[in-house]
Amino acid sequence: MTRVILGVSGASGAMLARACAQDLAHRQILFDLVISHAARRTFETECTPCALEEMQKLAARIHEVEDIGAGIASGSHAISGMIVAPCSMRTLAAIAHGFDDNLLTRAASVQLKERRPLVLLAREAPLTLAHLRNMTLVTEMGAIVMPPVPAFYLNPPSLEAAVNQIAARAIDLLRLGPGRAEAWVP
Ligand SMILES: Cc1cc2nc3c(=O)[nH]c(=O)nc-3n(C[C@H](O)[C@H](O)[C@H](O)COP(=O)(O)O)c2cc1C
């Protein structure tokens, strides 16, 4: 059965993580979940008190971010790809420079070395030259940088609708099946 990793780092946009988890569950794609310490804080700041717990309930497995001995730290583990949603500039930098300094960045590196899809919902605004250079580096290594920018052309009726569309697009980019994100129809 198809299994992916959802990494959640501490950029603003915790609701992106929850939307990805809900969409993966809806598509019946099993996922391993890794949440950074900073992400736990953004969840507290940006979401309802039960949002983190609700997201965790959808995961097939939850890993501590320090657990660098988890199965997903190894390329031998059967995984089809990974999404980091949202992806902080710190996590982006760690991936770009191959730090592998926690389970989230290690698992992302594993996707790159195994040539599997890695989709980074990198969120910051505005961007420094360091951010841009790190985005270039990860793109050169095969990752897809997908800033969580709303599809304005679809006229989303709410922030939730815009976020759900971004999550669906990110999951489509894993190319695990037919695309499900709402598309532009001229
Ligand atoms: C409320 C809040 C919002 C933040 N938003 C962002 C953001 O949009 N982008 C970013 O790169 N960092 C953001 N940060 C800072 C990161 O959380 C911080 O750099 C942290 O060290 C990232 O750690 P991680 O990559 O291990 O999750 C935010 C922090 C807080 C508390």
Burial of 63 (0-12, 13-18, 19+ CB in 10 A): buried
Q: Which domain holds residue 8?
A: 3-172
CATH number at residue 164: 3.40.50.1950
Summarised one tens digit per residue, pLDDT across range 135-169 is: 999 999 999 999 999 999 999 999 999 999 999 99
Nearest ligand 1 atom to alpha carbon 8:
27
Residue 114 structure tokens: 């195994």
Distance, in Å, from the CA atom of 127 to the CA atom of 19, rounded to the nearest integer, reads: 24
> How many domains are contained in the chain?
1
Specify if 130 maps to a domain: yes
Distance, in Å, from the CA atom of 18 to the CA atom of 56, rounded to the nearest integer, reads: 9
Identify the pLDDT of residue 1: 73
Q: Is the CB of 128 under 6 A from ligand 1?
A: no
Instruction: Provide the residue type at 180 as one letter.
Output: R
Q: Which residues of the chain have pLDDT under 70?
A: none
Q: Is the CB of 163 under 6 A from ligand 1?
A: no
Q: What residue's CA is closest to ligand 1, atom 17?
A: 10
Separation of CA 41 and ligand 1 centre (Å) = 9
Identify the pLDDT of residue 2: 85
Separation of CA 121 and ligand 1 centre (Å) = 13
